[in-house]
Amino acid sequence: MHESTDIYPTPSCKYFVVRKKRHCKMTVKQGEEYCGEHQKITCVNSETDPTKSQDRKNPSKIRIVCPLDRKHTCYAHNLKKHLKICNAGRISTEPYILKGVNSGKIGDGELVDLYRLLSTFSIQDIKDTILKVNAIFENSLKEEITEKSASHILIEQEMAKPEYGDKTKKHLKQASAILGLMHEYNLLMKPRTCYIEFGAGRGQLSYWIANAVQSSEGSNILLVERASPKHKRDNKLDKTFHKIQRVRADISDIVLDKLDIISASENIVGVTKHLCGEATDLAMRCLVNIAENKHKLQGAVLTFCCHHRCKWTSYVGKEFFEANNLSISDFYIMCGMASWATCGTGLSRERRNNEKATELAQNERDCEIGLSREEKEVVGYRCKHLLNWGRLLYMKKLGFNCSLHYYVEKSISLENVCIVAVKS
């Protein structure tokens, strides 16, 4: 009988990842306690030298923060080599990349867009903005957001499989609703259509779109994502049915007219699933900035999240704000308050488990603002709706018929609103 030679378990990194509440699972070299990413980082600047650190006896162990991207580290003795291959330092030479083309900046004189936290504004400023938000919502938006329950049979059949858990089913339910809306608004089955998913991530939505339009002649899928995630779903697609192209780039830098997949298509449809913050505005600008193929743009279904990460420069609803006497300060206060809609109590999981929500005291700042948690949640959602309404009016002014819908229930996702824009 064969016996395993793996008597001792493979040593793993001892670094404790606070966010995940567990130790890092990466393996380590023999004799080491930490993986390469979590080894001790030595600060290197004009006043320090890595050779003078406590690891000077073994310089090969000294790790420093990458000067191009502070999110990762590299070995000090390997710095020159690392800088040559670091993804953060690569400059794309692709013809469809033009730095900042969709950013919303106007020339070199554009003011620097400084994000401001809600805590930096005075209580009175916040109160004044709340009054404006409530007034505009009650007068203009209260009846404009409608429920639109849609689904697609392909994904509904997939969800019926017993192996899927609740979390996976929630993602599938959202994809089903998005495809259902695309079908209802006649955006799904037009022949020779290029479907562009902005912020595609692993490409789950594109995967289902591709499967849904298999019988549609000459349809293409374009995925736009600046990161390079693992386990991409588009790799599982049968390439004989569609032309699949994944572009790794920032949405703010893409010129769609320069992509062959766009030129070869007769129709263009944009789609997003929980596109974060200002990326939704960048995606809108990216679609609107199509010039040579402008007549091909049929519409878009855009779902969003993280309104607290929006920026004034890229935001497409400036005219709506100006028409309602809302300033840049109001914009950033609204972005901050938008998080009230989804942050719950704002307390850690441990505190929520140990204390009843009804017994939790408000903090001093909340008391000064004068709103209960329930009232803050309402204001938060109204801020989100106003930001989205500005986006809708932007698309409407460009000749699209637009609607703002609740496309899934809150139990599926708290970020449950989408814009459907269809060519007039």
pLDDT one digit per residue (tens) for the chain, 424 residues: 444 445 556 788 988 988 888 999 888 888 888 887 787 665 444 334 444 444 455 666 678 888 888 778 888 888 888 888 887 777 777 899 999 999 987 654 445 567 788 889 999 999 999 999 999 999 988 888 999 989 999 999 999 999 989 999 999 999 999 999 999 999 998 899 999 999 999 999 999 999 999 888 888 999 999 888 888 888 887 665 568 899 999 999 999 999 999 999 999 999 999 999 999 999 999 999 999 999 999 999 999 999 999 999 999 999 999 999 999 999 999 999 999 998 866 665 666 666 654 455 567 777 888 888 889 999 999 999 999 999 999 999 999 999 999 999 999 999 999 999 999 8
pTM over 0.85: no
Give the per-residue SS3 of the chain.
CCCCCCCCCCCECCCEECCCCEECCCECCCCCCCCHHHCCECCCCCCCCHHHCCCCCCHHHCEEECCCCCCCEEEHHHHHHHHHHCHHHCCCCCCCECCCCCCCCCCCCCCCCCCCCHHHCCHHHHHHHHHHHHHHHHHHHCCCEEECCCCCHHHHHHHCCCCCCHHHHHHHHHHHHHHHHHHHCCCCCCCCEEEEEECCCCCHHHHHHHHHCCCCCCCEEEEEECCCCCCCHHHHCCCCCCEEEEEECCHHHECHHHCHHHHCCCEEEEECCCEECCHHHHHHHHHHCCCCCHHHEEEEEEEEECHHHCCCCCCCCHHHHHHCCCCHHHHHHHHHHHHHHCCCCCCCHHHHHHCCHHHCCCCHHHHHHCCCHHHHHHHHHHHHHHHHHHHHHHHHHCCEEEEEEECCCCCCCCCCEEEEEEEC
Q: What pLDDT is recorded for position 199?
A: 94
Q: What pLDDT is recorded for position 109?
A: 46
Q: What pLDDT is recorded for position 48?
A: 43
**Residues in contact with 223: Cβ distance below 8 Å, sequence separation at least 6, in sequence order:** 196, 197, 200, 203, 206, 234, 244, 245, 246, 247
Q: What pLDDT is recorded for position 278?
A: 94
Q: What pLDDT is recorded for position 143?
A: 84
Q: Which tokens in the block code for residue 274?
A: 């929980």
For the chain, which residues make up each domain, given as ranges?
16-89, 118-423
Q: What pLDDT is recorded for position 57?
A: 52
Convert the pLDDT of each residue in 133-184 to its tens digit. Answer: 999 999 988 888 999 989 999 999 999 999 989 999 999 999 999 999 999 9
118-423: CATH number:
3.40.50.150
Q: What pLDDT is recorded for position 336?
A: 94
